[in-house]
């Protein structure tokens, strides 16, 4: 098998900054941009003539995903005193329009006869997993940091308005692959307020808290997603009735920073209404026997957890230890079952060295992920990923002011493991489960030149 992946991005932006001497307006910045990105993957696979599969064939697969975006960002801020308090206001607008286009194609050649077919493992190519779509987003926000006099307490209210629209245009390729599906459009909007507080215990030490309402529009691909792989008896169906996700969340925590160390702890508790679970496993169709996946809303859900990160400088010049811990617990409270969209706990620990010149950085990072034991298997016995630990090494070299080289050696212990995000929902007896394992021991390098 030979793979060739390519990613290209072109971005043109024009920005400006202005200073003012007006109540509530000290500065204003604005950016107008146009961006084009293109991801291409091509795979050539030679399949030997091993009975009962004959003859020898060559499979040529390609994948294309491209976006074309234009947008505008405007942000203003102002500091002033009013009603016995100091105010720091930040407000602005954001607008973007993005065209999304995706295509999969494949051909298989019989190397004995030269015969070519565009049907592979039951799919007739080319296919689209969702129709060409245009997403338009608009947001307006305002935030005020209020500090009464010289108090150590800051009160931070804010509000945001979001409007999201998706227009989908089915074409011959999408209709051929999804003959009974009519793509739907989306149009959603919402106001989301928040209220935060911050208290300065001492210089470099803060306590913080926040209550916020959240809103998330359905992802473009989830609403009109559709594909069918007969060889594995899988089918993903669209959900034109997918609703936006709403949430209310609390967060409390502490930050500490000093000359030789920094630390942050955050605890969060979020309650969701119509939580969007992408590509949920709905079990087997009683007529066809196919395993059905669909993005759906969970009526009520509760997700809480903790995040911890920190860094400490060691007594030796340039050496430091850093680490991070993330743990999340989630339940579908309407059905009283675990949420499969929640990742297992993760711990990372790193030892780094920065040269005195600042031109080289070495880092050794260990990552440990717990086994996924809490799963919703009410529709099918899903595959549970075992826990694992990996070890990676990084070397960054600043060759010149504009030239940087990054070298990495990954999974040094050659551990065989799965990412829960890559296999969630797959049945435990799936024949292709081994295909989802992550790469073994590998090395990579990149060169970056900026001008």
pLDDT in tens, 5-29: 999 999 999 999 999 988 889 999 9
Supply the pLDDT for residue 229: 77
183 CB neighbour count, 10 Å cutoff:
22
Give the burial class of 293: count Cβ atoms within 10 A of its Cβ; 0-12 exposed, 13-18 middle, 19 or more buried: buried
Q: For the CA atoms of the chain, what is the radius of gyration? A: 26
The residue segments making up the domain with residue 418 are: 2-449
Contacts of 289 (CB under 8 A, 6+ apart): 233
Confidence at 35, pLDDT banded by 50, 70, 90: very high
302: cis peptide before it, omega within 30°? no
Average predicted confidence (pLDDT) for the chain: 93
Residue 359, strand partner residues: none
Supply the pLDDT for residue 276: 94
172 backbone dihedrals φ, ψ, rounded to 5°: -60, -35
* pLDDT of 232 higher than 80: no
Q: Which residue did the predictor score with more confidence, 422 or 288?
A: 422
Confidence at 278, pLDDT banded by 50, 70, 90: confident
Tell me the CA distances in angstroms from 313 to 260, 321, 357, 370, 397, one per residue in order: 5, 6, 17, 28, 21
Backbone CA torsion sign across 164, 170, 175, 177: negative
- Spatial contact of 147 and 116, defined as CB atoms under 8 Å apart: no
Confidence at 231, pLDDT banded by 50, 70, 90: confident
Backbone CA torsion sign across 282, 284, 288, 293: positive
Question: What mean pLDDT do residues 169-185 have?
Answer: 84
b or e along 277-288 (b: 16 or more beta carbons within 10 Å of the residue's beta carbon)? bbbbbbeeeeee
Question: What mean pLDDT do residues 250-274 have?
Answer: 96
Q: Give the span between the Cα atoms of 299 and 286, in whole angstroms.
A: 25
The structure tokens listed for 314 are 């060691």
Q: Which of 280, 254, 277 is nearest to 267 (CA)?
A: 254
- Spatial contact of 110 and 55, defined as CB atoms under 8 Å apart: yes
Question: What mean pLDDT do residues 190-194 have?
Answer: 96
Q: Say how many Å lie between the first and final Cα of the chain, rounded.
A: 37
Question: What mean pLDDT do residues 106-126 have?
Answer: 92
Q: Give the span between the Cα atoms of 229 and 121, in whole angstroms.
A: 7
| Number of domains making up the chain | 1
Place of tokens 């102002």: 78
* Helices and strands counted in the chain (H then E): 3, 23
* pLDDT of 75 higher than 90: yes
pLDDT in tens, 334-364: 999 999 999 999 999 999 999 999 899 999 9
Supply the pLDDT for residue 182: 81
**Entry pTM:** 0.86
What does DSSP say about strands 234-237 and 291-313: parallel, antiparallel, or unpaired?
Answer: parallel
Q: What's the CATH code of the domain at 218?
A: 2.40.170.20
Supply the pLDDT for residue 167: 93
Supply the pLDDT for residue 84: 87
Supply the pLDDT for residue 233: 80
């Amino acid at each position: 098998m030979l793979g060739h992946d390519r990613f290209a991005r072109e971005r043109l932006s024009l920005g400006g900054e202005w200073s003012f001497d007006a109540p509530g307006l000290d500065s204003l910045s604005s950016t107008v941009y146009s961006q084009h990105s293109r991801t291409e993957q091509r795979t050539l696979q030679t399949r030997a003539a091993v009975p009962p599969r004959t003859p020898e064939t060559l499979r040529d697969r390609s994948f294309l995903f491209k976006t074309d975006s234009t947008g505008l960002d405007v942000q203003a801020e102002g500091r002033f005193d009013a009603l016995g308090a100091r105010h720091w206001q930040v407000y602005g607008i954001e607008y973007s329009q993005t065209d999304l286009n995706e295509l999969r194609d494949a051909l298989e050649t019989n190397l004995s006869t030269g015969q070519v077919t565009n049907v592979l493992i039951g799919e007739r190519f080319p296919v689209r997993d969702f129709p060409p779509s245009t997403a338009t987003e608009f947001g307006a926000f305002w935030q005020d940091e209020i500090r009464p006099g010289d108090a150590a307490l800051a009160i931070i209210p804010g509000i945001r308005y979001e409007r999201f629209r998706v227009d989908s245009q089915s074409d011959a390729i999408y209709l051929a692959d999804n003959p009974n599906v009519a793509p739907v459009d989306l149009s959603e909007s919402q106001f989301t307020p928040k209220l935060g507080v911050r208290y300065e215990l001492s210089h470099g030490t803060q306590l913080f808290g926040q209550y916020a309402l959240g809103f998330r529009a359905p992802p473009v691909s989830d609403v009109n997603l559709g594909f069918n792989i007969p060889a594995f008896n899988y089918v993903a169906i669209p959900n034109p009735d997918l609703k936006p996700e709403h949430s209310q969340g609390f967060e409390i925590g502490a930050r500490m920073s000093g000359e030789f160390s920094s630390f942050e702890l955050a605890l969060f508790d979020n309650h969701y209404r119509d939580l969007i679970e992408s590509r949920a496993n709905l079990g087997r169709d009683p007529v066809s026997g196919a395993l059905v996946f669909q993005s759906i809303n969970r009526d009520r859900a509760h997700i809480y957890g903790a995040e911890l990160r920190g860094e400490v400088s060691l007594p030796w010049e340039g050496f430091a230890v850093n680490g991070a811990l993330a743990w999340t617990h989630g339940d579908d409270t309407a059905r009283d079952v675990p949420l499969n969209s929640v990742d297992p706990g993760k711990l990372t620990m790193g030892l780094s060295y920065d040269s005195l010149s600042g031109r080289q950085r070495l880092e050794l990072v260990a990552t440990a992920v717990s086994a996924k034991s809490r799963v919703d298997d009410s529709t099918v016995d899903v595959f549970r990923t075992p826990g694992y630990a990996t070890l990676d090494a990084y070397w960054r070299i600043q060759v010149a002011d504009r030239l940087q080289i990054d070298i990495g050696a990954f999974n040094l212990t050659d551990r065989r493991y799965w990412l829960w995000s890559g296999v969630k929902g797959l049945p435990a007896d799936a024949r292709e489960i081994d295909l989802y394992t992550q790469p073994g021991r590998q090395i990579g390098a990149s060169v970056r030149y900026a001008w």
